[in-house]
Amino acid sequence: MSKKANYSYVGIAFVILIFGIWFVPRIVDRITKGDTVRNDTRSEPISKTNFSKDESSDLVFININGTPKKVPAFSFTNQHGATITEQDYLGKVYLVEFFFTTCPTICPRMNKNLVQIQNKFEGIEDFGVASFTIMPKVDTPEVLKAYAEEYGITNPNWNLMTGDQDAIFELANIGFNIYVGEDETVEAGFEHSGNFALIDKNGFIRSRQDDFGNPKIFYSGIISEEEKVDEDGQKEEISMLKTDIAKLLKE
């Protein structure tokens, strides 16, 4: 081996030594101070900006831009011809749904589930339901009253409401972020979410958290044959709602 090659190896070794002396302590220092950036952010803490917690309950408030989401103002006519507003529900725990009486798909299941919940809290004056029709041209107070009788709706705080379609659509899509819309390609010409919103006595939207600490936000009002049942044979989603309603009634 030539002397020239020996000099080259010595030079490389010297550079590596200098690098170690100069850079390694700084890398260690940055790691110690937590200055390094991780490419995998999946283990980062979940943002708390979309919900906040009432320390007296494990049910969270749903936040929009850092502010707890409250039921917006509304005024519609119920199945008895009376004007109902959000003020009529203050002091009550209640569920919100959007439906229509001629719905051939999910609405019958949704309202059978609501009747089951109604019967669970029979006689509780502080519990109610707010049902808004998305087909008000058909669902007059008379039609809604007949529908209530057909389904066994007896809770005096369960109002089936009708009114201006644009106002109802805005209440659903913007007020509650529960989707409703017209679509000529679907059966009956309307489509909508099968979700229920849970509202506390002060008019705030509440929910439980999932296993990862995220707010559930809405509860599914639709039961399928494949849905898992709990140890009592009840569909889990409806069982959750009954539990959470009971918690809010105690607040």
> Where does 125-225 show beta strands of DSSP type E?
127-133, 158-161, 180-182, 190-192, 195-199, 205-207, 219-220
Q: Which amino acid is at 98?
A: F
Among 186, 180, 111, CA closest to 147: 111
Please state, in angstroms and rounded to a whole number, the distance separating the CA atoms of residues 100 and 120: 24
Q: What is the pTM for the complete model shown?
A: 0.76
Please state, in angstroms and rounded to a whole number, the distance separating the CA atoms of residues 205 and 245: 12
- Mean pLDDT value across the chain: 81
What's the token pair of residue 14?
């010297």
The pLDDT tens digits of the residues spanning 64-121 come to 888 999 999 999 999 999 999 999 999 999 999 999 999 999 999 999 999 999 999 9
> In the prediction, which pLDDT does 57 show?
66
**What's the rounded mean pLDDT across residues 218-237?**
77
> In the prediction, which pLDDT does 1 show?
52
CA 100 centroid distance within chain: 21
Whether the pLDDT of residue 12 is over 50: the answer is no
Q: Which amino acid is at 138?
A: V
The pLDDT tens digits of the residues spanning 172-190 come to 999 999 999 988 777 777 8
**What's the rounded mean pLDDT across residues 114-134?**
97
167 Cβ contact list (under 8 Å, min separation 6): 74, 76
> In the prediction, which pLDDT does 181 show?
92
Q: Map tokens 């679509």 to a residue.
A: 183
In the chain, the N- to C-terminal Cα span, in Å, equals 87
**What's the rounded mean pLDDT across residues 111-136?**
97
